[in-house]
Chains A and B, each alone.
Chain A
Amino acid sequence: MAGPRLKPSHMALAVGVGFAALTALSGTAAALLRWDDESEVHRPVFSNIPGPLQVMFYVATFVSFVAVGVLFAQRFRGYERGTPDNRRTTTKNAKRRVADFRAGVYMQTVMRDGAAGLMHSLMYFPFLGLFAVTAVLEIDHSLPERAKFLHGGVYQAFAAFGDLMGVLFLVGIVWAFIRRYVIKVYRVRIKTRPEDAVILGTLFLMGLTGLLAEAARIALDGQPEAERWSFVGYPLSVLFRNSTYRVNDLGALHQGLWVAHIVSFLGFLLILPTTKMRHMFTSPMNMYLRDRERPKGAMKPVPNMTETSLETFGAGVVEDFTWKQLLDTDACTVCGRCTNACPAHATGKSLDPREIVLKVGEVMAATNPGGPVSPVVGTDRDITISSNNVFERITPEEIWACTACRACDEVCPVNIEILDKILDMRRYLTLMESSFPTELSKMFNAMENQENPWALSNQTRAAWAEGLPVDVPIVDGSQPFGHEYLFWVGCAGSFDDRAKKVTIATAKLLQRAGVDFAILGPSERCTGDPARRSGNEYVFQMLAMQNVETLNGMGVTKIITICPHCFNTLENEYPQLDGRYEVVHHSQFLEFLIASNRLLLDEATLEERVVYHDACYLGRHNDVYGAPRNVIGSLKGIQIVEAPRNGTTGMCCGAGGARMWMEETIGKKVNTERSRELIATDAQRVATACPFCYIMIDDGVKGSPPPAPSATS
């Protein structure tokens, strides 16, 4: 019979106890062996600190480390409530995992936001430096005299380094204070809690008392010349000893400051697991555990809905989330970058991605096995949580406001998977509670009955091709596919009058370049993307399985599509159903045709200013940013400008996540806001690479007020 399985919570406890044991061992060894450094220039340890205080220091540190281990273990038990999620390190993904981890510990992702990144780095790197200084001092303290190394020039360099780290650390803390309490940056201000002052105060006290205690020690020792390398402590010691502010009882001053330093350090140990400071450990761990098997654009797979014995789908209670999704909540640094990036939040909807993470964490913390633990951040006392159901804190309005644009995931510096949680909750609401916006029921019915969300007869899917100067071959789904490329038109391109223009333009370009392609016509069905993103896995699977059966049966291998949503589903999600094809977006294919001189643009000129609007499902979901720009940039005379939010930070048009089929009654309209940004570039043309973006931005631009007449006109 197998023994008890070692769980992460056991390991957290073991690490805490391990640190405590090391501290005790180090203290005991130093006290018993008394290996003192007799060098003239060295760092005396515990000079002027009475024996009982030394013992109290080691005992308090021992107890605190054990407490840290116990408190972290309690939190880890919360993550263990989650469902399995394979985040194993394999030989295939180890290198990328280490790179993700390194990005975390090197602050690479935090530094994407210049000012905040620099501020955070000023706290973080000097903190590591000061931790190293303390560890080196303790190691040297525990070594026999012959092995001691912290003396002479080495000690002087060590002292200078320690002071430099101390000063930089304090600069970082003061900067953080100013950002939070003076400048009051929006994303920081709206989530500032009393504990933030406690955290910053504790860190500040720890840094300040460290430098002051050093100064008092130097003053007490008579300001030896060798201590001049302590370029902060030494001048301060002059203040204590020689100035009008001199202190008569330097011994008492030093002891008082030393005790204050130790108390602030012990306080730091205790806020580590109980406040968001825990992110020092959980964030790099979370980055290391990033999903390396599933493409960014793919939703989590669900077993075949008609065969599975699963009784619940999606996430409604804490135990429905995966352990990684629960760990995510504790990895949150509450920085609010996701809040700033969210188009729903920016237009006045109730959704704030950060709140989704924090609220799941709140419910997890309140219902933790063995008693509640502190929430991710402090909450109002009036808020009570009586069960493990996350909808006690999260409203359906928040969940349905999401455009699934992935801006939150992309900007998160610690790789929290926010969109996955929202989509899992949508699955729960739709499949388990039949709770979704009423407009979606029409879309679901249309997708089930007409095989497209436009509710038009699927038999008219190829109607756009009628009357074109050149015939577009249509292959029936029951026949073998005898062409090189399948042109997957998608529902928008087949049924929406404006999007049909995209289809026709692409067909013309393919024909012009001599590409051997055909369409499926009525044999093509919706890929199922809007159903899946609105939680209806049943309708998604119904359509996707039929499509895969058709494509596999016909022997289709290469697909071109104009729709980034179709592109994402065919490329990233159909492999979950054994549909594996080489899929290219038309922007990529046009880029290839132009680069290989199959599509000649020698005479094509467009002397206008053009701004390109990034499609979320092409950009953030699939990292295709260059191809559309290269295509439009191939035209002679064109001037390309960028919107303020572009590339990875591009703003959604508002149609993703099935929002295309939902009313937008709260706040401002996302497409109008985005269109205003695009218009503000003074571009004469807007280029899109997604039929949904085209429709939304065209509406947004047309709905924007006309330019004010100039004084001369």
Chain B
Amino acid sequence: MIDDGVKEHGRDDVVVQDISMHLVEAIEAGERLRAHFGVPPVVTEEGAADAPVAGQ
């Protein structure tokens, strides 16, 4: 679909995002909350499992 500009009177009460964007939004909101309460950050762990391969 070529962009026809029909967006002006939309529903902005429904948020459309990619899964990665939802994830980042939730993570960053959590971090802001933690910072607000002064809790130390969580350390990222290196996983031991092998990376996934398409089709598996």
The residues of A with any CB-CB pair to B shorter than 8 Å are 439, 484-485, 501-502, 505-506, 508-509, 512-514, 558, 562, 567, 571, 582-593, 595-606, 610, 612, 622, 628, 631-632, 635, 654-655, 659-664, 669-671, 678-679, 683-691, 694, 696-699, 701-707
B residues in contact with A631, CB < 8 Å: 19, 23
20 A-B residue pairs with CB within 8 Å: A505-B20, A506-B18, A509-B24, A571-B55, A590-B23, A591-B52, A592-B52, A598-B45, A600-B42, A602-B30, A603-B34, A605-B29, A628-B19, A635-B22, A671-B1, A685-B22, A701-B16, A702-B12, A706-B10, A707-B13
A residues in contact with B45, CB < 8 Å: 597-598, 600
Does the CB pair A603–B27 fall under 8 Å? yes
Does the CB pair B54–A585 fall under 8 Å? yes
Pick the residue among A586, A604, A654, A697 that contacts B27 (CB under 8 A). A604
Does the CB pair A601–B15 fall under 8 Å? no
The distance in angstroms between the C-alpha atoms of A706 and B8, with both chains bound, is 11
A702 and B11 in contact, given A635-B23, A662-B1 (Cβ under 8 angstroms)? yes
Does the CB pair B11–A571 fall under 8 Å? no
B residues in contact with A506, CB < 8 Å: 18, 20
A residues in contact with B10, CB < 8 Å: 701-704, 706
A residues in contact with B54, CB < 8 Å: 567, 571, 582-585, 588, 622
The distance in angstroms between the C-alpha atoms of A599 and B55, with both chains bound, is 22
B residues in contact with A571, CB < 8 Å: 54-55
B residues in contact with A587, CB < 8 Å: 19
B residues in contact with A689, CB < 8 Å: 18-19
A residues in contact with B18, CB < 8 Å: 501-502, 505-506, 562, 687-691, 694
Does the CB pair A699–B46 fall under 8 Å? no
A603 and B53 in contact, given A505-B24, A596-B47 (Cβ under 8 angstroms)? no
CB distance from A456 to the nearest CB of B (A): 14
Does the CB pair A669–B19 fall under 8 Å? no
CB distance from A197 to the nearest CB of B (A): 42
Pick the residue among B1, B14, B16, B47 that contacts A593 (CB under 8 A). B47
B residues in contact with A593, CB < 8 Å: 47
The distance in angstroms between the C-alpha atoms of A567 and B53, with both chains bound, is 12
B residues in contact with A514, CB < 8 Å: 44, 46
Cβ-closest chain B residue relative to A603: B30
The distance in angstroms between the C-alpha atoms of A506 and B14, with both chains bound, is 22
Pick the residue among A513, A602, A654, A704 that contacts B42 (CB under 8 A). A602
A558 and B26 in contact, given A600-B42, A654-B1 (Cβ under 8 angstroms)? no
A residues in contact with B27, CB < 8 Å: 512, 601, 603-604
Considering the complex of A and B, which 8 residue pairs feature the smallest CB-CB distances, nearest first? A702-B10, A596-B47, A603-B30, A604-B26, A505-B20, A502-B18, A598-B47, A698-B16
Does the CB pair A688–B24 fall under 8 Å? no
CB distance from B25 to the nearest CB of A (A): 7
Does the CB pair A582–B53 fall under 8 Å? yes
The distance in angstroms between the C-alpha atoms of A604 and B25, with both chains bound, is 8
Cβ-closest chain B residue relative to A629: B19
Does the CB pair A704–B11 fall under 8 Å? yes
By CB atoms of chain B within 10 A, which of A439, A501, A505, A698 has the most?
A505
The distance in angstroms between the C-alpha atoms of A701 and B15, with both chains bound, is 9
The distance in angstroms between the C-alpha atoms of A612 and B17, with both chains bound, is 10
By CB atoms of chain A within 10 A, which of B15, B52, B54 has the most?
B54
CB distance from A562 to the nearest CB of B (A): 7
A684 and B14 in contact, given A600-B44, A603-B31, A661-B2 (Cβ under 8 angstroms)? yes
The distance in angstroms between the C-alpha atoms of A418 and B40, with both chains bound, is 57
The distance in angstroms between the C-alpha atoms of A599 and B46, with both chains bound, is 9
Does the CB pair A603–B2 fall under 8 Å? no
Does the CB pair A601–B53 fall under 8 Å? no
A residues in contact with B34, CB < 8 Å: 603
The distance in angstroms between the C-alpha atoms of A509 and B20, with both chains bound, is 8
The distance in angstroms between the C-alpha atoms of A604 and B24, with both chains bound, is 9
Cβ-closest chain B residue relative to A558: B51
By CB atoms of chain A within 10 A, which of B20, B22, B47 has the most?
B20
CB distance from A585 to the nearest CB of B (A): 7
Does the CB pair B49–A596 fall under 8 Å? yes
B residues in contact with A704, CB < 8 Å: 10-11
Cβ-closest chain A residue relative to B34: A603
Does the CB pair B26–A606 fall under 8 Å? yes
Cβ-closest chain B residue relative to A624: B54
Cβ-closest chain B residue relative to A506: B20
Pick the residue among A513, A661, A664, A699 that contacts B7 (CB under 8 A). A699
